[in-house]
Amino acid sequence: MPAAEPRPAWRGEEVVDLLRAINASLRGQLAQDSIRLGLPKFSRRLPILMRVCDEPGITVNELARVIGMPKSQVSVLVAEMQAEGVLRKAGDPTDQRRIRVSPTAEGKRRAHAWRRAYRSVVLEALRPMSEDDVAHLHRGLIALREALEPGRTDRAAQEGAM
């Protein structure tokens, strides 16, 4: 397979800036919607809630690792969220030193409401775009997600060595 032509450095920087701006716009829109919908403001708690809903029974250590937050902060936030009735903690039946975290019904409700609000904001932004533009965006986002997958750089190096 022929090597891909290098992209101009400015294009990569522009992509980084665009992603940062899009993230800020999404967060701003979601903050407005959260007030209107009566949801809590976006905070460090949201990634915890979403991950726990996606992986009920995840340990506090695993949770800290996958969301990239210190374990001490995650532990404090999980305790606060447990006190609010959003999460519940339980010991691991095979190792009582491990704490497993699961969402409560209220936690699931909030996560579902957040996802619905997020999708609504994104779908509304896509509405005026042409089908072709949406298709290009979709392909580009898939390629970026795949490029960012853990272990991808290891696989690419191995394939290059073959």
pLDDT value at position 12? Answer: 81
Q: Which residues contact 118 (CB under 8 A, 6 or more apart)?
A: 26, 30
Residue 41: which region, alpha, beta or left (left: phi > 0; alpha: psi -120 to 50)? beta
* DSSP character string of 20-54: HHHHHHHHHHHHHHHHHHTPPPP-THHHHHHHHHH
What are the structural domain ranges in the chain?
A: 42-125
Maximum Cα–Cα distance for the chain, whole Å?
A: 57
How does DSSP classify residue 7?
A: P
Q: How far apart are CA 112 and CA 36, in angstroms?
A: 16
pLDDT by position in tens, the chain (length 162): 566 666 666 688 898 899 999 988 888 888 777 777 666 665 788 899 999 999 999 999 999 999 999 999 999 999 999 999 999 999 888 888 888 999 999 999 999 988 888 898 899 999 999 999 999 999 999 999 999 887 765 545 555 554
pLDDT value at position 135? Answer: 96
Burial tier of 82 (Cβ tally within 10 Å: 0-12, 13-18, 19+): middle
Which residues, listed in sequence order, are joined to residue 103 by a DSSP beta bridge? 87
The token pair at 19 is 């992603």
CB 29 within 8 A of CB 44: no
The token pair at 126 is 């896509």
Interhelix angle for 45-54 vs 71-83, to 10°?
A: 80
Size of the chain, expressed as the number of residues it contains: 162
Domain 42-125, CATH: 1.10.10.10
pLDDT value at position 59? Answer: 94
